[in-house]
Structure 1
Amino acid sequence: MTQILPTSTVGSLPKPSWLARPETLWAPWKLQGDELVEGKQDALRITAKEQSDRGIDIISDGEQTRQHFVTTFIEHLDGVDFDQRETVRIRNRYDASVPTVLGAVSRSKPVFVDDARLLRQQTDQPIKWALPGPMTMIDTLYDGHYKSREKLAWEFATILNQEARDLEAAGVDIIQFDEPAFNVYFDEMKDWGVATLETATEGLRAETAVHICYGYGIKANTDWKATLGSEWRQYEESFPLLQQSSIDIISLECHNSRVPIDLVELVRGKKVMLGAIDVANEKIETPEEVAATIRNALRFVDTDKLLPSTNCGMAPFSRDIALAKLSALSAGARIVREELSAAKP
């Protein structure tokens, strides 16, 4: 990647209204059978072009082919029953009806590889694919078999590593693991969470990233954030461990959050995917606001290690708002690139 300050999205982008209900998490599909398969593929092609047209440098699938960033992966695994559901508390914030683990979990075939190959065909730019991390997976289902969060996490880590290796073979440049659970379950994260994440990345030549955020801009998350006080220091728990880990890129929420920017110093030496776009507010950032966030971070991150991004996924937004925010992200990064170029002797 020769571009300095390469821009990227972190997760989901809104789906076309003909594919799924707009501005809704876990939105039901509007198509079925072969039409659904074709519709998902068309949406993936569209989102790749929309990102490129708006100056995004690292192209993702925008999660167009999945209903949810965790459960769509889980539903392709053996040992999990989606008909037998239980209500669980997700990340100590909200209740959700989730599938049940009834037996040993395993992956009989690749889950996202065909989609990743299709994305690879759409662009010559670097591509990124997101997978749920082991800790966040176990927090999004009911375990009726292992009766141990840790045991199930290690099983998922092995399965994720199989999927990640296949994604790498399909041409994915960056494989991202989403671990919002790292901001909630600190003891588990320290005891085995980071270790299971490293197992998921074992043997990969593709760059690896871990994304830790404060969640989508839904009421349960914004209500939780309101309880966190004037400074959000949760990253202090995970960053020192991740700085010592084999993970290449640390992705964090920043813009319009109460995360003290100097916490980025804790992962000095790693690449940082910096959230410079707020996903909990429909107001479109100005390019200058994005540039200011980037400049602020550059006090703690080397220029060649900073990747401006979104705070989290944007599925709950309208497409117009999400695309305008992508344009602001690329325009803000361009401002800082030009400043850095002009400052060179």
Structure 2
Amino acid sequence: MEDGKARRRLKAIRTRGAAVLEQARRSIDIVSDGEQTRQHFENKQTVLIRDRYEASVPSVVGAVERKAPVFVEDAKFLRTLTDRQIKWTLPGPMTMVDTLHDGYYGSREKLAWEFATILNQKARELEAAGVDVIQFDEPAFNVFFDEVADWGVATLERACEGLKAETVAHICFGYGIKANNDWKATLGTQRRHYEKSFPLLQRSSIDTISLESHHSNVPLEVVELVRGKRVMLGAIDVANQQIETSEEVAETLRKALEYVDADKLIPSTNCGMAPFPRNVALAKLNALSAGAAVLREELVGAQV
């Protein structure tokens, strides 16, 4: 058993090192380990996720508590692999509530506040371990609009409380899996969901807003609603294996500059590329980097 754990640990270390190396080769400025250390649970129930698809998820059977750090050593290891900025992603309070079975609290809001406090403890430890950017994933913000206004943004701010690291609210329409793609196909030619959450986030303490853009049917003018914030703009399509050209990426970024200042625009993959084959994911990273370089040269040239 111990030998098996050691082998798995060694494999994880090698894989994470490879992920960082591949990002560095492509001049990615903000590096992550690809969420390879996320934990899974044994006590599970099947629930409906975001009113869209069923999944086997952890079950809350008593008061939630945090017994020990989970990611600190992994974050410290990631810090040793690169001198670039490093980012760590955590699920936001609302999305945590929506991706588990509650057999104890009976209140999504109450449980979200409990998780927000625990997430804040985790985030402070990650910051102390050298993490520069802490991202909270909240795809549930694009579904449960009333709850976002009532307590979603407030619990997210609680999770970020007191942090000096850059904080990011990541709101997407989900990975490129069939259930998400089928749902997105029902949303019409314009997905204006961000109009519900962005005004609230613009007034919040969150530093940076992350959203879908390229091939998403999200009208870019919604970015104006978070004017003043830093914006991580999804400049590749994570739901399609077709590889973007550098010019396609650059054009997506150019259009965004009408609504966000250049020094606050961060070209991004938006959501994760876990469903993709490795060669596709790496090719899309190439396109992201090359497209950003095209726009950067244009902006520098315009200043000369």
User: TM (normalized to structure 2)?
Assistant: 0.98
- One of 247, 250, 260 as aligned partner of 1:291: 250
Stretches of structure 2 that go unaligned for 5 or more consecutive residues are none
| 1:257 counterpart residue number | 216
- One of 58, 71, 86 as aligned partner of 2:30: 58
| 1:49 counterpart residue number | 21
* 2:294 pairs with 1:335: yes
TM-fit CA distance, 1:230: 1.2
- One of 134, 156, 163 as aligned partner of 1:204: 163
| 1:223 counterpart residue number | 182
How far apart, CA to CA, are the structure 2 residues paired with 1:105 and 1:41?
30
1:176 is paired with a residue whose SS is strand
1:296 is paired with a residue whose SS is helix
How far apart, CA to CA, are the structure 2 residues paired with 1:99 and 1:48?
30
Stretches of structure 1 that go unaligned for 5 or more consecutive residues are 1-30, 67-71, 76-81
Partner amino acid, structure 2, of 1:302: D
Aligned residues of 2:116 and 2:156 also touching (Cα < 8 A): yes
Aligned residues of 2:232 and 2:270 also touching (Cα < 8 A): no
2:209 is paired with a residue whose SS is strand
Q: What pairs with 1:16-165 in structure 2 (closer than 5 Å)?
A: 32-66=4-38, 72=39, 75=41, 82-83=42-43, 85-165=44-124
Deviations 1:94-142 (A, max 9, x none): 0011121011101111111111111100111111100000000011110
How far apart, CA to CA, are the structure 1 residues paired with 2:130 and 2:5?
27
1:304 is paired with a residue whose SS is helix
How far apart, CA to CA, are the structure 2 residues paired with 1:34 and 1:107?
25
How far apart, CA to CA, are the structure 2 residues paired with 1:56 and 1:98?
33
Deviations 1:23-58 (A, max 9, x none): xxxxxxxx9411111211111111011100011111
Aligned residues of 1:98 and 1:141 also touching (Cα < 8 A): yes
| 1:344 counterpart residue number | 303
How far apart, CA to CA, are the structure 1 residues paired with 2:134 and 2:183?
29
Aligned length: 302
Partner amino acid, structure 2, of 1:328: A
Q: Select the structure with the greater relative contact order (CA < 8 A; seq sep ≥ 6).
A: 1
TM-fit CA distance, 1:63: 1.2
How far apart, CA to CA, are the structure 2 residues paired with 1:99 and 1:256?
33
TM-fit CA distance, 1:244: 0.2
2:213 is paired with a residue whose SS is coil
Aligned residues of 1:106 and 1:159 also touching (Cα < 8 A): yes
How far apart, CA to CA, are the structure 2 residues paired with 1:114 and 1:93?
35
Partner amino acid, structure 1, of 2:10: E
| 2:269 counterpart residue number | 310
Deviations 1:274-333 (A, max 9, x none): 000101000000000000000000111001100000131001101111001001000000
* 2:229 pairs with 1:270: yes
How far apart, CA to CA, are the structure 1 residues paired with 2:51 and 2:143?
8
Alpha-carbon spacing, 1:306–1:103, altered in 2? closer, same or farther (3 Å): same
TM-fit CA distance, 1:143: 0.4
Partner amino acid, structure 2, of 1:289: E
Partner amino acid, structure 2, of 1:275: G
How far apart, CA to CA, are the structure 2 residues paired with 1:99 and 1:311?
26
2:63 is paired with a residue whose SS is strand
Deviations 1:54-82 (A, max 9, x none): 1111101111223xxxxx2x74xxxxxx3
| Superposition CA RMSD, Å | 1.1
Aligned residues of 1:41 and 1:65 also touching (Cα < 8 A): no
Q: Comparing both structures, which one devotes a greater share of its residues to helix?
A: 2
Aligned residues of 1:54 and 1:326 also touching (Cα < 8 A): yes
Aligned residues of 1:48 and 1:60 also touching (Cα < 8 A): yes
How far apart, CA to CA, are the structure 1 residues paired with 2:61 and 2:180?
30
Partner amino acid, structure 1, of 2:113: W
1:194 is paired with a residue whose SS is helix
User: TM (normalized to structure 1)?
Assistant: 0.86
2:61 is paired with a residue whose SS is strand
